[in-house]
């Protein structure tokens, strides 16, 4: 178990669309890589060396700083059995930890319940972005979902308990034909009112925030700023979640330019976020996990890459033991997954297991529903 000054906090950045792991952590001396990607292979002079075999994409300089500090973990060959190439299904698997069945509860929803069994703090879990990721969903667990913290308000323009309750009842009637009135109304009544309380509290965070750093104006930049503002406001939030713009990493075409721009933004934003927390002496108890739902095919399509299997993921933080975890998947034809994809060798649930046991001191099997060997990056 890791010891921190304050209660440990997990921040999560989901990179929506299926990040191309091969062009993120690049097998720099692998001829098969260059043969498979005549259009998209990154030349050795356009990457940042990790070791003799691997390198970062050139736009990831701000992240390499944390690698050099020993604070960045790189997870190679991340995936799960029987890979799905559907964005929705694959992300759902990451959210629920259930690759074989359709899960209804999110792993972080269970975490929030374990950390705050009585829902004494309506801000134990907060999401920044539209909707509520299934990772955070669990019946009876209130999670505030924020579109823009600067102008935030979930029904906050409606004053008075009675009026807000009436508005929630309207939402319930809207959704009940699809899901069933009882289930919807129970969920909204149990969690909606608490989420509204959280909205009112969160609205105070920007006014309490001062900083010497400037976040980018992109969605990722502003959501990560919101995460920092909420953490620094000391609301007792333990789980902070956000997602990059929908399917932004789905680089079927024009990948070279798009992928470079995406990682330029993500890398700079994560550096800004960590610098912000360090400037406020508030980074000791934060670990940031960032991942994508799957990788891309080995062979390029002439302009981009199509949906694949194994990918890469990362964790950064003061207590992270920097290093490479898992093995880089083989590009040999006989070692590929069906369809010309990289085979996974590191189950994403092993990463979760480490976070649950060594960061939060929780029973990982009870949250995930199965046992997985830890990855000792904490």
For 172, the domain range is 153-202
Q: Does residue 187 sit in the same domain as residue 295? A: no
pLDDT tens for each residue of the chain, 378 residues long: 687 779 999 999 999 999 999 999 999 999 999 999 999 999 999 999 999 999 999 999 999 999 999 999 999 999 999 999 999 999 999 999 998 888 889 999 999 999 999 999 989 999 998 888 999 999 888 888 888 777 654 443 334 445 445 544 544 454 444 444 454 445 545 555 555 567 678 888 999 999 999 999 999 999 999 999 999 999 999 999 999 999 999 999 999 999 999 999 999 999 999 999 999 999 999 999 999 999 999 999 999 999 999 999 999 999 999 999 999 999 999 899 988 999 999 999 999 999 999 999 999 999 999 999 999 999
338 found inside a domain: yes
Q: Does residue 121 sit in the same domain as residue 183? A: no
State how many domains the chain has: 2
Alpha carbon separation from 42 to 30, 35, 306 (Å, rounded): 11, 12, 17
Backbone phi and psi for residue 274, each to the nearest 5 degrees, phi listed first? -65, -40
Q: Does residue 74 sit in the same domain as residue 175? A: no
Specify whether the CB–CB gap between 144 and 239 falls below 8 A.
no
Q: Does residue 177 sit in the same domain as residue 218? A: no
Q: Does residue 260 sit in the same domain as residue 118? A: yes
Q: Does residue 174 sit in the same domain as residue 125? A: no
Q: Does residue 107 sit in the same domain as residue 135? A: yes
Q: Residue holding tokens 């001062």?
A: 210
This prediction's pTM: 0.90
Q: Does residue 173 sit in the same domain as residue 229? A: no
Q: Does residue 302 sit in the same domain as residue 186? A: no
| CATH number of the domain within which 46 lies | 3.40.720.10
Q: Does residue 261 sit in the same domain as residue 363? A: yes
CA neighbours closer than 13 Å in the CB half-sphere of residue 37:
26
């Amino acid at each position: 178990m890791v010891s921190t000054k304050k209660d440990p906090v997990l921040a999560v950045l989901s990179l929506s669309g299926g990040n191309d792991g091969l062009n993120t952590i690049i097998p720099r001396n692998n001829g098969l890589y260059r043969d498979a990607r005549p259009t998209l292979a990154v030349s050795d002079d356009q990457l940042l060396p990790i070791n003799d075999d691997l390198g970062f994409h050139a736009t990831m300089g701000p992240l390499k700083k944390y690698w050099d500090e020993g604070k960045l973990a790189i997870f190679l060959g991340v995936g799960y059995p029987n890979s799905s190439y559907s964005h929705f299904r694959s992300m759902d698997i990451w959210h629920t930890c259930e690759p074989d069945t359709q899960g209804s509860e999110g792993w972080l929803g269970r975490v929030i319940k374990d950390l705050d069994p009585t829902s004494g703090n309506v801000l134990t879990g907060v999401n920044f972005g539209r909707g509520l990721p299934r990772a955070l969903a669990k019946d009876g667990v209130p999670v505030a979902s924020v579109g823009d913290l600067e102008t935030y308000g979930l029904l906050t323009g409606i004053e008075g308990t009675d009026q807000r309750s009436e508005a929630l009842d309207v939402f319930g009637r809207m959704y009940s034909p699809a899901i069933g009135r009882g289930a919807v109304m129970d969920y909204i009544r149990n969690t909606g009112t608490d989420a509204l309380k959280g909205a009112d509290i969160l609205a105070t965070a920007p006014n309490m925030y001062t900083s010497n750093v400037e976040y980018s104006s992109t969605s990722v930049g502003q959501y990560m700023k919101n995460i920092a503002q909420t953490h620094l406001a000391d609301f007792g939030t333990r789980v902070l979640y956000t997602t990059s713009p929908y399917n932004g990493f789905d680089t079927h075409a024009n990948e070279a330019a798009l992928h470079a721009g995406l990682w330029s933004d993500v890398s700079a934003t994560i550096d800004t976020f960590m610098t912000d927390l360090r400037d406020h002496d508030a980074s000791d108890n934060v670990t940031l996990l960032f991942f994508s739902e799957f990788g891309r095919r080995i062979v390029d399509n002439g302009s981009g890459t199509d949906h694949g299997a194994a990918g890469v993921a990362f964790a950064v933080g003061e207590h992270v033991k920097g290093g490479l975890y898992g093995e880089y998947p083989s590009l040999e034809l006989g070692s590929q997954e069906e369809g010309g994809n990289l085979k996974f060798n590191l189950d994403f649930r092993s990463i979760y297991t480490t976070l649950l046991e060594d960061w939060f001191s929780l029973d990982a099997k009870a949250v995930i529903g199965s046992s997985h060997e830890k990855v000792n990056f904490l």
